[in-house]
Amino acid sequence: MKTDQSHILFAKAQQLIPGGVNSPVRACKSVGCEPLFVKRAAGSKIYDVDGNEFLDFVCSWGPMILGHNHPSVVEAIEKTLRNGTSFGAPCSLEIELAELVIKALPSVEKVRFVSSGTEATMSAIRVARGYTGRKVVVKFDGCYHGHADSFLVKAGSGVITLGIPGSPGVPEDIVKNTVSIPYNNPEILEKTLRDKKLDIACVIVEPVAGNMGVVAPEPGFLQKMRSLTAELGIVLIFDEVITGLRLAQGGAQEYFGVMPDLTCLGKIIGGGLPVGAYGGKRELMDMVSPVGPVYQAGTLSGNPLAMAAGIATMQQLAQPGFYAALEEKSARFARGLVMLAEKYLPGQTTLNRVGSMMTAFFAVGPVVDFDSAMKADTERYGRHFREMLAQGIWLAPSQFEAAFISSAQSEAELAMALEKTECSFKKLAK
């Protein structure tokens, strides 16, 4: 594998861009190598500037569920592009995508489009605070909800990947209104929510944690969260930036049968283009300006290219049998990973999977929360990452992220990936 051009570009980028990247995990620091610069992507593959080909399990951090450059999505973008790239005004595509989102998500009666998952989550908690007249946000250790000030308390994703305990520049006056508690601990959840001194406006949760690695909710955990928040008048927000349209067309709320008050969605609803959304009950969403007093705005919100790509993506996902086929493929691949781990690294790995998202932790299981995820051997993961990269397999450059299966990956490609994994596990076992 040649990396000459990537090395040259990274050196140049570091002179112009902080760390040479526009999102921290991309720097590949935690896996002990330099980043590859991608030139193009198609189907199940990405191709770097040095001409190397990689089978992609990152899928742009989840949204490329159809694979890269799906013909229907590309056609929709190209058709819309002829009419312009940005209007800063309403267009009919917003209505069409809103109808599809509301039809797909069981709890959503109205939806507002934004430009990122971070915008969606920060807007949702603003609505919750405006609706309840309360201040405090309850989140969960290791769950990442974007880089807004309120969320950088025991956050996941790049924050833990880089060993950052929070972030300078976040005022104490803001984070004092955020309470972070252990994921999958119903006793602490109930004690916290019943504490009348906390003045809790909302609980925000990744219904399946995806930013400390994949961690599924224990049976009954989401249901207890729903019953407690309903009883206490607390707004329940599902951050489905990763799980929305990924686990099922109706997201985690369909998958687990638990209906939140507000839902946040990310770039998967725009075919991977920069887009996000938040939506929910009519009475909550009618708090949003210009109907209500809670202000939120954005020039690129409802961007026509993103709307067109989202419509095309959702139409493909609505095809009969799509999710059943993806589940079967993911389950078969996961079984293969488990068999290899048991053969070469017995008692040293734990595979967590929900639907088409999974994480192989180099840790003695089970991994059920932030503390148990932090026991993973990140040095060993870095060795595995580099070995797989050398064999043409692109994994997330962090132990604390998910791997994703797309409909574009063939059974032959997944079998090949298992063969490469076997080679890596053999070396790690020595």
Residue 50 appears among annotated catalytic residues: no
Look at residue 145 and give its three-state secondary structure.
coil
Decide: 200 and 193 in contact? Cβ < 8 Å.
yes
Decide: 161 and 189 in contact? Cβ < 8 Å.
no
Q: Which residues pair with 179 in a beta bridge?
A: 138
Q: What is the layout of strands, in order, in the sheet containing 350-354? A: 350-354, 357-361, 403-404
Residue 48 appears among annotated catalytic residues: no
DSSP string, 34-91: PPPPEEEEEBTEEEETTS-EEEESSTTTTT-TT-BT-HHHHHHHHHHHTT-S--SS--
- Cα–Cα dist 233/40, whole Å: 48
Backbone angles phi, psi at 114, to 5 degrees: -130, -165
Decide: 79 and 308 in contact? Cβ < 8 Å.
yes
Q: What are the angstrom distances between the C-alpha of 12 and each of 3, 28, 39, 194?
A: 14, 16, 16, 53
Q: If you ran DSSP here, which 8-state letter would residue 248 be given? A: B
Backbone angles phi, psi at 72, to 5 degrees: -70, -35
Answer whether the bond into residue 186 is a cis peptide, omega within 30°.
no
Residue 239 appears among annotated catalytic residues: yes
Q: Which of 56, 131, 141, 144 is catalytic?
A: 144
Q: Which of 48, 141, 239, 369 is catalytic?
A: 239
Q: Which of 110, 139, 267, 329 is catalytic?
A: 267
**Which are the contacts of 34, defined by CB distance < 8 A and separation ≥ 6?**
3, 6, 7, 10, 28
Active site residues: 144, 239, 267
